[in-house]
């Protein structure tokens, strides 16, 4: 790849931030060069196997460091619920954009009813299908009856109050529900992903931060040789320990410790 001049870099938005990471293709090609060396851990390894284990390594590091975040903006409709993004794992923050274009955090309200209703006959007996499975339906839950948020003037239970609105995530059905005061409001959902969406991306589109490059690489090497009879147990353990060491260092980097800032905070406390 030709080196860009600063002018070329700033003129091409696709290049912005590229120095921080390498693509999956670059890492695969780098590791593939070792497959022709008979003394290498990766001797005679197929490219497809390297790709598969690198992707697994990316997911593992992202899960341990919580570094793969995404954000989407939606407008709440009359149903007051949406399907969560396909690559959603867990939410980090859910906010509403106020009249000043500022993001205001929403409160979690697990009292929003998203339970399944059991179908029953006139004798109130639970009904099953021909395979003996329960028959369920949406009855008085939030899928059929949107959650109405009522204003409470006086209460001692502050957990029931949420200034900007409320939401609840239903993990089982992959939906997020909102209180009625958020209808027609713009919502920003910040969430964590594990990289499963990588299956839809090309190798040139998948990027690995340079801080995590060695951890991902040694994860792949460790997994590739773990079942090889030609590799002795000492080398397998060495590769695994190298991965654990690199992962530990990656996790420390992910924390972004700033000892100068920590020192300032400590020194600013009253004596």
Distances (CA, A) of 55 to 31, 119, 208, 211, 212: 14, 43, 10, 16, 13
- pLDDT for 148 equals 79
| CA proximity to 191, closest of 95, 107, 88, 106 | 88
What distance in Å separates the CA atoms of residue 235 and residue 241, rounded to the nearest whole number?
10
- pLDDT for 205 equals 74
Q: What is the mean pLDDT of each run of 10 residues along the chain (271 residues)?
A: 72 75 89 89 92 89 72 94 88 92 91 87 90 86 79 49 85 93 94 69 79 93 93 94 93 65 50 49
Rg (CA), the chain: 25
DSSP strand E in the chain: where?
21-23, 69-75, 81-83, 90-97, 103-105, 107-108, 117-118, 136-137, 166-170, 175-178, 186-192, 207-209
- pLDDT for 86 equals 83
Q: What is the β-pairing status of strands 166-170 and 107-108?
A: parallel
Domain spans of the chain?
6-66+196-256, 69-192
């Amino acid at each position: 790849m030709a080196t860009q001049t600063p002018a070329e870099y700033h003129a091409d938005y696709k290049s912005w931030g590229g120095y921080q990471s390498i693509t999956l293709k670059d890492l695969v090609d780098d590791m593939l060069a070792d497959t022709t060396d008979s003394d290498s851990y990766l001797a005679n390894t197929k490219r497809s196997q390297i790709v598969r284990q690198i992707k697994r390594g990316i997911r593992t590091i992202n899960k341990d460091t919580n570094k793969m975040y995404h954000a989407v903006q939606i407008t709440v409709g009359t149903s007051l619920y949406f399907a969560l993004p396909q690559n959603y794992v867990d939410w980090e923050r859910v906010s509403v954009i106020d009249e000043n274009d500022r993001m205001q955090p929403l409160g979690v309200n697990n009292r929003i009813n998203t339970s399944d209703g059991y179908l029953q006959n006139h004798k109130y007996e639970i009904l099953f299908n021909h395979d003996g499975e329960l028959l369920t339906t949406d009855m008085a839950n939030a899928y059929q009856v949107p959650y109405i948020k009522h204003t409470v003037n006086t209460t001692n239970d502050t957990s029931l109050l949420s200034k900007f609105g409320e939401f609840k995530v239903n993990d089982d059905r992959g939906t997020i529900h909102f209180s009625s005061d958020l209808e027609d409001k713009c919502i920003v959902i910040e969430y964590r992903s594990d990289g499963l969406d990588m299956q839809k991306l090309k190798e040139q589109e998948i990027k690995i931060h340079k801080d995590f490059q060695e951890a991902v690489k040694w994860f792949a090497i460790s997994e590739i040789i773990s079942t090889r009879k030609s590799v002795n147990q000492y080398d397998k353990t060495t590769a695994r320990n190298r991965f654990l060491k690199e992962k530990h260092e990656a996790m420390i980097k992910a924390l972004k410790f700033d000892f100068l800032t920590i020192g300032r905070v400590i020194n600013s406390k009253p004596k």
